[in-house]
Amino acid sequence: MRARTPRHAAVLAVTLAALGLPIVAVPAQAAATAAPAPPPRTGFETSRGDRWTTEREETEFLDAVDRGSDRVTVRTIGTTKQGRPLRLAAIGGAGGGVGAGAGAGTGAGTTVLLVCSQHGDEPSGREACLTTVRDLAYAQDPQTRRFLSRTTVLVVPTANPDGREADTRGNGDGVDINRDHIALKTAEARTLAAVIRDRRPDMVYDLHEYGGTSPYYDKDLLALWPRNLNTDAHVHDEAHTLSESYVRPAAGAVGFSSGVYGIWTDPLTGKPLKQVAGDGQERILRNTVGVKHAVGLLVETRVEALTEAEKDDHARNQRRRVHTQLVALRGAFAYVEERRGPLLAATAAARHRGFADRGPVLLGGADNDPAEPGEIIGDPPCGYLLDRAQYAEFGDELALHGVTVRRDGDGGFVPLRQSARALVPLLLDGRASYRLTTGQPMEVC
């Protein structure tokens, strides 16, 4: 990780100010000449944080933003089992409109994907994402306009609509979507996989909340990068920089405390005590996107009220949670603006490395937990053969993951020599914990 310097801190402060949210004010001259309608507000905003935005209010809000700004396009990209829409908002122009096909967002511009409230009972990220869509769509300041001229911001405002409606962690079937990014059994995870495959985001930012344990695990904000050992080293380092040099410092700059997700710390010394979460399993989104060559980050805001004022006023508590998300998100945008070159270089190189890589594939471990000998495929096969039944059952999932399959009669051959090289054994090797199926390893192609 690049060390933070006084100059870097100053640049970060300027960039954060330039990309400050909310940024929805209409210039006086424009107001006098065009008299535009005021930007829409969420149910959370109109209630001053007393309640969360309803599904109907979200629909009306996004429709109003879509109508009110030519900078944003909102589209339904999937449907949950209970029939609720999964929406994608696209703001900016670097990667093309929402309807762009495979490969969009892979030119000179940068594509960022925000995934909001995968867990339905963690609503603060959703509120932050909704207002961010609006604020970016209506912003008139030159810094934000320049940012959007080189950046496409994709936002899935409610990644788990059924869970949000029921206020449950899981979806309508009780499935934790954030444990389904390998198997792709849920409509929600399948929809996200298609977006990642087709839009190839350079950064995926995943917004959550957590229940703390005072005094060891009660920071206002926690963050964590991909720990999976198959993440390209440069992609991993950029994700670490995003967390430790931008997102957490942005929170600290306005007085919020922060830490690393999953790590209990001594309240007096700040030293780590034990790890309670945040491993390297590939089925979790922050790890999945790392293996798929995107700079990923999980962010979590604390649910519990720690101050007497928040305990006495749940709206104050809820406003703090959303404000923390917004401040952290400003840090993520500052990272994109300042490290656009290294970010694009890291993701582009990682996407090509699988065609030439001959190194091992790791089936376990993490960046802070070396893989055991039995978790290392030291000499990977050249590919895996699927029979007719396997291909019929899992061909769609492989396609959603963007994995290349060479049809072989009624079955298929999945070569390792492809962009998704490290992902293939995680999906098809008999030793992988979350595999789709067990393919036949082939030593000669």
pLDDT of 37: 78
Nearest-angstrom CA–CA distance, 205 and 224: 10
| Structure tokens belonging to residue 106 | 């892979």
Model confidence, pTM: 0.92
Interval 257-280 mean pLDDT: 97
Statement: residue 99 has pLDDT above 80: no
What does the buried/exposed string (b/e) look like for 221-242 if buried means 16 or more CB atoms within 10 Å of the residue's CB? bbbbbbbbbbbbebbbbbbbbb
Nearest-angstrom CA–CA distance, 194 and 426: 18
For the chain, the average pLDDT equals 91
Interval 159-180 mean pLDDT: 98
Task: Give the tens place of pLDDT for each residue, 69-85.
Answer: 999 999 999 999 999 99
pLDDT of 444: 81
CA 164, 166, 169, 170 torsion: positive or negative? negative
Statement: residue 190 has pLDDT above 50: yes
Task: Give the tens place of pLDDT for each residue, 306-342.
Answer: 999 999 999 999 999 999 999 999 999 999 999 999 9
Instruction: Region of 106 please: left (phi>0), alpha (psi -120 to 50) or beta.
Output: alpha
Q: Is 239 helix (H, G, I), strand (E, B) or coil?
A: helix
Task: Give the tens place of pLDDT for each residue, 400-429.
Answer: 999 999 998 889 999 999 999 999 999 999
Helices then strands (H, E): number in the chain? 16, 16
Confidence of residue 209 (pLDDT cuts 50, 70, 90): very high
| Structure tokens belonging to residue 45 | 């905003």
User: Under CATH, domain 6-350 is a member of which superfamily?
Assistant: Zn peptidases (3.40.630.10)
Confidence of residue 9 (pLDDT cuts 50, 70, 90): low
Q: Per-domain residue ranges for the chain?
A: 6-350, 356-442
CA 415, 421, 427, 430 torsion: positive or negative? positive
